[in-house]
Structure 1
Amino acid sequence: MKLTTRKFDALIIGAGGAGLRAALQLSNADARVAVVSKVFPTRSHTVAAQGGVNAALANVLPDSWHWHMFDTIKGSDYLGDQDAIEYMCRAAPKVVYELEHFGVPFSRLDNGGIYQRAFGGQSQNFGKEQAARTCAAADRTGHAILHSLYQQNLRARTHFFDEYFAIDLIKDEAGYVLGVVAFEILSGEPIVIEAKTTLIATGGAGQIFRTNTNALSNTGDGMAMALRAGVPLEDMEFVQFHPTGIAGRGMLITEGVRGEGGFLINGEGERFMERYAPQAKDLASRDVVSRAIAIEIREGRGCGKNKDHVLLDMRHLGTDTIMKKLPGIREMSMTFLGVDPIEKPIAVFPTCHYSMGGIPTNRDGQVVVPVKDTPEDPVPGLYAAGEAACVSVHGANRLGGNSLLDILVFGRAAANHILDFLKENRYHRPLPQASVDQALERLSRWERKGDGEAVEPLRRELRKVMEDHCGVFRTAEVMQEGVDKLRVLRERIENAVIRDHTQTFNTARIEAMELENLMDCAMATMCSALGREESRGAHSRVDFPERDDERWLKHSLYSLLDDSMDYKPVRTQPVTVESFPPKKRVY
C-alpha cells in the first residue's frame, strides 16, 4: 500500500487554544503549518472554558503581575517552577490585548475597558485583599477565544486536517521527532505528515475519571504518544477536581458564579466555606473548596434526599446580573437539572476537571527529558503546550483563569522557538520507515474482530477504577489496589476486539486506540499518586496529611517502561525577582 505523505515546516496536533495560538504565530511568519484535529477545530475543548483568562490589567481593582505571580506560586502549593510562572504572569496583559485585537468580544466596563471578575486564589498586595483579575466574555470566554483564533488562522491560510486521528509520532535514531502517522476518520486512509517540528497540543486526560467536566475527546492522546516515544510524564498525580460540577452529571459550573457573589450552602443552610477559608471563603483555591465540600458530605451535612451534594446559591445576584454575566450557566442548569438559578440554587459536587501534569517542557515549549548528571535535554523537533504539557506553571493546583492564560502564553512561546529552530534546520531529515511501520501496526491491530472483550465495557471499568481508587482523598492501600486492577485491565485491553458493528468501523478503531491512551494516562496518574507520600495541592493523602517540603518539593516523572518513577527538582529561582519560599498555604 502506497502511503500519502505531506510535508510541512510545523505540525500541530490539536486545534484548541494552544494549538491555534501557535499555528497563528507560525502562519503569520510565513511558515508552512499543518494542524491535525480529531474534531472540527471549534469543537475543541477550549470552547467549554467559561470564566475567563487572568491578566493584571488593573481595570477594576489595583493589580500587578508580581501579585499574580505570588498567587500562582501559592496556588501551586509551591510546586510550580517560578521562572515559568514569572514569564507567564509578565506576558499576560500583552496576550490579552492581542486577543482583543484578534476580535475576541470581551465584556466591557462602562469606560470601555475589558471587564474583570474576581476568581479563587487571587489577591492584591501578596495575599491581603481580594483581586479582580479574570478577563471575561460573559461566561463563554473559551468559546469567544477559540472562534476568534480559528477565524484568524483561516485568514492566515493555516492548513487544517479536520477529523484526522494522530496515531503515533515518527522518530529517528538520532532522537529527532519528524512528524506523525495519522488516519482520516471518514475514509480510514492512513497518512504520513512529515514536519521539521511537531507541537503536541491535544489537551488533558479527564476522561480517565467517570465523572468529569471534559469533552469526550479528552483522552490523553498526546500524553500517551509522548510516553510511547520514550518521554516521561511529569506530576500526573495532580488532578484538579473542580468544586462545582453539576451533581451526578459532572458538567462545569464556572467559578465565575462565585466570583460574581454566589456562595455554597450545606444541608443545614450554612455558608460552610467560612469554616475552611475564613478570609477568602467561597473564593479559596479549588482544591480547598473541593475538599471542604467532600468533608461536609462525609460528615452528614449534604443536601438532597441522599445528602450527596451541596448547593450553589446565586438567587441574590438578581435577574439582570445572571442574564448579563452568567447566561450560559442559567441555560445549562435549566437544561440538565430543570432548575432556573434565578429562582432556585444549583446542586453541585466536585468533578474531575484538569490535569496539572503532562509532557515536561521548558518555558519555550520544548519537550525536555531529564538525563542523569546533566541538565534537561530538549527532544529535538518536539514541543508541547496547553493542558497536554507541564511547564510547570500550575504545580500541585491550578488557579481558575490561569488555564486559558497558559495555553495562550506558551502556545505563542513555543511558536517563537519553533521559528528559531526552523532557521537552523531548513531541510527535512530522512524519514525512518521502521517508525512509520510501528505506528501503522498499532492501527492494523484494531482491525481485528471476533468474540473477545469489547472496548466500551473496558473503558467504563477503567474510569470506575480511577474514580474509586484515586479521588479527592487517597490512601496507599486503596491506590495499590487500584494499580493492581489497572495492570489486569491493561492485559485485558491487549486482547480486546471491536465487537460493535452498529457504529462506523473507523470510529470504533479510534475508541479502541483512545482506550489504550487512557490506560497509559491512568497508570501514570495512579503510580505517581501512590509514590508521593505527602499532601500537596490537589493530591490529598489521608495517610500522609501534611505537606513535606524536605522530602517532596520535587516533580515526579512516570515512564512507561516498567511503570517506573523518577523525580527532578522544582525550579525555585524566578527570572528577575526574588524567590517566594514555601510557607503554609491558608486562605
Structure 2
Amino acid sequence: MQIGTTLAKRKFDVVIVGAGGSGMRASLQLSLAGLNVAVLSKVFPTRSHTVAAQGGIGASLGNMSEDNWHYHFYDTVKGSDWLGDQDAIEFMCREAPKVVYELEHFGMPFDRNADGTIYQRPFGGHTANYGEKPVQRACAAADRTGHALLHTLYQQNVKARTQFFVEWMALDIIRDAEGDTVGVTALEMETGEVHILEAKTVLLATGGAGRIFAASTNAFINTGDGLGMAARAGIPLQDMEFWQFHPTGVAGAGVLLTEGCRGEGAILRNVNGERFMERYAPTLKDLAPRDFVSRSMDQEIKEGRGCGPNKDYILLDMTHLGADTIAKRLPSVLEIGHNFANVDITKEPIPVVPTIHYQMGGIPTNINGQVVVPNNGIHNEVINGLYAVGECSCVSVHGANRLGTNSLLDLLVFGRAAGNHIVDFNLKNKTHKPLPKDAADRTLARLARLDSNSGGEYSQRVAGDIRSAMQQHAGVFRTQAGMDEGVTKIAALRDRVSNLALKDKSKVFNTARVEALEVENLMEAAQATMVSAAARRECRGAHTVDDYEHPADHPTAPLGRDDANWMKHTLWYAEGNRLEYKPVNLKPLTVDSVPPKVRTF
C-alpha cells in the first residue's frame, strides 16, 4: 500500500474509538441527541474490558450506612495521595449518585436490599466521617458489575441506533494545520482495508495499556491504542509513572479477584495465619487503599512470611463467609478459584499476589473530557475536536492511586459529561473542516514499512521483551538504579519496534498485522511510564521507590512523599522523549480544599 493511495472516506458527526463503558456512555448521550455517531471497536462491544470489572460503582447513596459526597470527595483526594485535581474529584463525587440512578432506570440489574434499594458493599479506602470507619458505598451487581453495566449500555445504544464498527482498529488521529482534530484513520480487520473517518469531533475511549507488564489483570486487547495515537499526534501523556497493583491477583495466573471479596469480609493471611493488615492499617485493616495493601503484602513476602513452597504469595481467606454468601455475592470468584487455582474458596484460602491492574495516567483532559495541552504558558489549552474519557484519559481524579469502584464511576461520569459537552456544541449545524492533503500519510507509511520489511522481528517477541523489562524495572517497589536501567532497556527496544516484520502479508483478518500495530502503541505507553517514573524522585501512591526514606515522625507511613518539589503532574512527549510538568489543582469547585497530610489508615 503506497502513500497517496486513494482510501475510502466516510463522514460522521462524532467518531468514538472504543466501545467500553466510557465510549458507550458517551455514544448513548450523542445518539439520543440525534447526532450521527460511529463507535469503533476491536472486539464486539460486550467483550470490551469493562466487562471484567467486578466489585461495584462508588456512589454516596447512603443505602447501607451513613454517607454523603463530601466523605467520598475526601477519601478520593486522600486515596490519590494528593496528586488528584480536587475540582475534578468534586465533580465526579457529586455526580456519582445521578449516574448510578440513571443506570438503574436503564435497567441495570443491581443487587437489592430487603427494602428494594441498591445493595452497597464496603471497599478499600472508602470511609464515613473523614476516615473514622469503613462505609458501604460500592453499588454492586454480585461480582459481575462491569458485565451488567456493559450489557445495559449496549442495549440502550442499540435502542438509540448507535452505529458500531466491530473489529475495526483506529490507527492515527488526523489533525489539520491549525492543530484541530478532523478524523481518524482506521483498519477494517475483515478486509484489511484502511479508511479515513472524517468527524467534527473525535472521542478516544480505548481503555488502558496494562499489557505493557508481564503479569497483568488486563485483557490482551488492552494495548494502549489511544495513548499511542495521542503520542504520535504530538499530545503528551500525563502521570504515566503511576500504575495500580491490585492486591489480589491469582498467584501464577494474574486473574483478578475483586476487592469485593474483602468488602464482604475476606481476610489476607501470611504463612503464620496472621491477619497482618491489622499491623499496617489498624483502622481499615484489609480495606485500606490498594497501593497500601499491595505494599504491605510485598513487605510480608520480603520478610519471609509469604506462603507456599517458595514463600512468594499471600492467602486470601473467605472460608468464614459461608458457602451461601459466597454463592450469592461472589459467584464469579467461586468459579475463578476452581478454574485458575484449583481451590474451593468455601473450604480453603486462595493464593494471591499484587498484580498490575490499572493506569492512573493517560491523555490529559478537563472535566468536560476535552483533551488539553500546555501552550504558551497556558497549562490546559483545549485541542479543538478531540476528547478522551475512561482509563485512557487523565482528568486526574485518581492521582497517584485510584480507589476501588472509582474506575466504573469515572467512565460513567466523564463519558456522560463529554457527551453532554459535545451535544452543546450543536454539531448538527456545523460543517466538517477540510482534511489535510497528508491526512493518511503517517498511517500508510507505518503499514508500508511493515509490509516491505522482510528481515525484521516478530512482534510478539519484542512485546514479550517490553513486558519483561517493565515487570522488572517498574514493579510494586522500585529503585532508582533499576528505573534508570529500565529507561535504557526500553529506549533500545524502540529501535526493535521500528523493525517489525510480517511473515503473513495477507489482508483478510490478518491478526499478525493487528498485533504489530498494537506493539507500536505498547512502546509509547512503556516509554512514557519508564521515563516518567525514573524522573520522579519521591514516593507517592503507587510509585514507591526503595531509595527514599520514611518520614521520621511517621515510620509506618508511605516512603518519602515530597510535596515541596513533586506535587505536580508529569507530561511525557514522544517527540524528543522529553518531560514537562504542570501543577496539581488543589482548589475544588465549591468546598474547602483538603490539605495534604500523611496517609494513615
User: TM tier, shorter chain?
Assistant: over 0.9
The DSSP-based 3-state class of the residue aligned with 1:39 is coil
Aligned to 1:140: 144
Counterpart of 1:131 (choices 135, 157, 180) is 135
Q: Equivalent residues in 2 for 1:238-387 (5 A)?
A: 238-387=242-391
2: CA distance, partners of 1:307 / 1:446: 45
Q: Answer whether contact 1:56 1:133 (CA < 8 A) is retained.
A: yes
Q: Equivalent residues in 2 for 1:118-517 (5 A)?
A: 118-423=122-427, 426-448=430-452, 450-499=454-503, 506-517=510-521
Counterpart of 1:88 (choices 69, 89, 92) is 92
Aligned to 2:570: 556
* CA deviation after TM superposition for structure 1 residue 541, in Å: 1.0
2: CA distance, partners of 1:88 / 1:469: 33
User: 1:575 aligned to 2:589?
Assistant: yes
Aligned to 1:108: 112
Q: Answer whether contact 1:196 1:422 (CA < 8 A) is retained.
A: no
Aligned to 1:546: 560
* CA deviation after TM superposition for structure 1 residue 487, in Å: 1.1
* CA deviation after TM superposition for structure 1 residue 450, in Å: 2.5
* CA deviation after TM superposition for structure 1 residue 505, in Å: 6.3
Q: Answer whether contact 1:262 1:314 (CA < 8 A) is retained.
A: yes
**Relative to structure 1, is the Cα distance of residues 503 and 193 closer, same or farther in structure 2, using a 3 angstrom cutoff?**
closer
* One-letter amino acid of the counterpart of residue 514, structure 2: I
1: CA distance, partners of 2:187 / 2:335: 37
Q: Answer whether contact 2:22 2:205 (CA < 8 A) is retained.
A: yes
Aligned to 2:579: 565
The DSSP-based 3-state class of the residue aligned with 2:249 is strand
* CA deviation after TM superposition for structure 1 residue 249, in Å: 1.1
* CA deviation after TM superposition for structure 1 residue 506, in Å: 2.0
The DSSP-based 3-state class of the residue aligned with 2:397 is coil
Q: Answer whether contact 1:14 1:201 (CA < 8 A) is retained.
A: yes
Q: Equivalent residues in 2 for 1:53-64 (5 A)?
A: 53-64=57-68
Aligned to 2:522: 518
* CA deviation after TM superposition for structure 1 residue 547, in Å: 0.4
* CA deviation after TM superposition for structure 1 residue 504, in Å: 6.9
Q: TM-score, normalised to structure 1's length? A: 0.98
Q: Answer whether contact 2:262 2:287 (CA < 8 A) is retained.
A: yes
Q: Answer whether contact 1:449 1:499 (CA < 8 A) is retained.
A: no
2: CA distance, partners of 1:349 / 1:433: 51
Q: Which runs of 5+ in 2 are unaligned?
A: 549-558
Q: Answer whether contact 1:54 1:134 (CA < 8 A) is retained.
A: yes
Number of equivalences: 587
Aligned to 1:586: 600
1: CA distance, partners of 2:517 / 2:431: 32
Aligned to 2:555: none
2: CA distance, partners of 1:450 / 1:158: 41
Q: Answer whether contact 2:216 2:254 (CA < 8 A) is retained.
A: yes
Post-superposition Cα deviations, 1:33-65, rounded to whole Å, max 9, x if no partner, equal: 100001110000000000000000000001000
Question: Equivalent pairs: percent with the same residue?
Answer: 59
Q: Answer whether contact 2:192 2:507 (CA < 8 A) is retained.
A: no
Aligned to 2:53: 49
* CA deviation after TM superposition for structure 1 residue 492, in Å: 1.4
Post-superposition Cα deviations, 1:423-443, rounded to whole Å, max 9, x if no partner, equal: 497000101121222222222
**Relative to structure 1, is the Cα distance of residues 315 and 501 closer, same or farther in structure 2, using a 3 angstrom cutoff?**
farther
Aligned to 2:553: none
1: CA distance, partners of 2:581 / 2:268: 38
The DSSP-based 3-state class of the residue aligned with 1:120 is strand
The DSSP-based 3-state class of the residue aligned with 1:119 is strand
The DSSP-based 3-state class of the residue aligned with 1:254 is coil
Q: Answer whether contact 1:9 1:422 (CA < 8 A) is retained.
A: no
**Relative to structure 1, is the Cα distance of residues 500 and 477 closer, same or farther in structure 2, using a 3 angstrom cutoff?**
farther
Q: Answer whether contact 1:528 1:565 (CA < 8 A) is retained.
A: yes
Q: Answer whether contact 1:79 1:396 (CA < 8 A) is retained.
A: yes
Post-superposition Cα deviations, 1:526-546, rounded to whole Å, max 9, x if no partner, equal: 011011101000000111230
Q: Answer whether contact 1:181 1:440 (CA < 8 A) is retained.
A: no
* CA deviation after TM superposition for structure 1 residue 501, in Å: 8.2
1: CA distance, partners of 2:504 / 2:350: 37
2: CA distance, partners of 1:402 / 1:78: 16
* CA deviation after TM superposition for structure 1 residue 420, in Å: 2.1
Q: Answer whether contact 1:167 1:443 (CA < 8 A) is retained.
A: no
**Relative to structure 1, is the Cα distance of residues 199 and 90 closer, same or farther in structure 2, using a 3 angstrom cutoff?**
same
* CA deviation after TM superposition for structure 1 residue 413, in Å: 0.4
The DSSP-based 3-state class of the residue aligned with 2:227 is helix
Aligned to 1:66: 70
1: CA distance, partners of 2:114 / 2:323: 19
* CA deviation after TM superposition for structure 1 residue 374, in Å: 2.4
* CA deviation after TM superposition for structure 1 residue 4, in Å: 1.5
2: CA distance, partners of 1:118 / 1:338: 28
The DSSP-based 3-state class of the residue aligned with 1:98 is helix
